[in-house]
Amino acid sequence: MDSLSKNQIKFIKSLHQKKQRQEHQLFLIEGEKLVNEVLRDKPEIIEWLIIKKNYAFEKEISKPVYFIDDAVFASISTLSTPPPIMAVCKFLPHSTDLSINFNSTFSFYLDNINDPGNLGTIIRICDWFGISKIHCSPNTVELYNPKTIQASKGSFLRVNVIYIPFEKLNLSPQTIVYAADTKGTNIYQTSLKSGLIILGNEANGISPSLKNYVHQYLTIPKHPNSKAESLNVAMSAAIIASEFSRPFLL
């Protein structure tokens, strides 16, 4: 049973940081379910498997496997309750196809989404509604942030996430650009056509520089008695995805 050297432990801990992940093009996945999903669907990205000594792991795999003590595991895990298994993975291959396939429904452009949990949740929603590619502004939180990966569950394996300035998107002149905004038209009253939907930053909404591109703003109206200030961007994404998809799922 191979253990990890001090340098390897240090290296894995360094992958908690974006700078190191980007430099080495490596990231961490944690937990049985996620590791099993990657082993099943994309084993080629796994570099090392790291497993707690007392954990019964019986798969035959052709990757380096390290067995370590609980205390060491806790020190390299990003989770407060460390799971029994994690893996160091290579970044997914970059997509060079910048076109947007609307899959007969829609796609999202994420404009400076800040919270990794929100990004991961939005990826999971896209996966559910059959959206296989989304685009993000370069200042959107990193796909390989451990919290993004955790919130996306296995969906980051199926939804292509491409970081690109909005101006560089290959949009056909026919593409309708929507944006979620509290001052938009009632989404339930709007005839929604296939198009690109911009979701803005959690605190500041859509960037001023993107406003010129927007054809129609959409809003999810609240109950007349509600005193809520806002709906979280991931929840908005879920409802918007549902509204754009429902004609096709009826």
Contacts with its own copies, 190-209, as mask; x by CB under 8 A: --------------------
SS3 of residue 215 by DSSP: coil
Q: Which of 129, 109, 128, 124 is nearest to 245 (CA)?
A: 129
Q: Does 188 bind its own copies (CB under 8 A)?
A: yes
Q: Which stretch binds its own copies (CB under 8 A): 10-18, 69-77, 162-170, 216-224?
A: 216-224
- 35 or 234: whose CB is closer to its own copies? 234
Q: Does 158 bind its own copies (CB under 8 A)?
A: yes
DSSP-assigned beta bridge partners for residue 198: 109, 179
Q: Which stretch binds its own copies (CB under 8 A): 22-30, 56-64, 106-114, 218-226?
A: 218-226
Q: Does 250 bind its own copies (CB under 8 A)?
A: yes
Q: Which of 220, 250, 213, 218 is nearest to 235 (CA)?
A: 220
**What does the angle CA 108 – CA 114 – CA 118 come to, to the nearest 5 degrees?**
60
- 62 or 80: whose CB is closer to its own copies? 80
With b meaning 16 or more CB within 10 Å and e meaning fewer, what string describes 212-246?
ebbebbbbbeeeeeeeeeebebbebbbebbebbbe
Q: Does 148 bind its own copies (CB under 8 A)?
A: no
Q: Give all strands (DSSP E) within 85-199, no chain letters.
A: 85-90, 106-110, 133-136, 160-163, 176-186, 195-199
Out of 125, 141, 192, 218, point to the residue binding its own copies (CB under 8 A): 125
Least distance (Å) between residue 109 CB and its own copies: 19
Residue 131 in tokens: 């959206």
Site for its own copies, rule CB under 8 A: 103, 105, 117, 121, 124-125, 127-132, 153-155, 158, 186, 188-189, 220-229, 231-232, 234-235, 238-239, 242-243, 245-246, 248-250
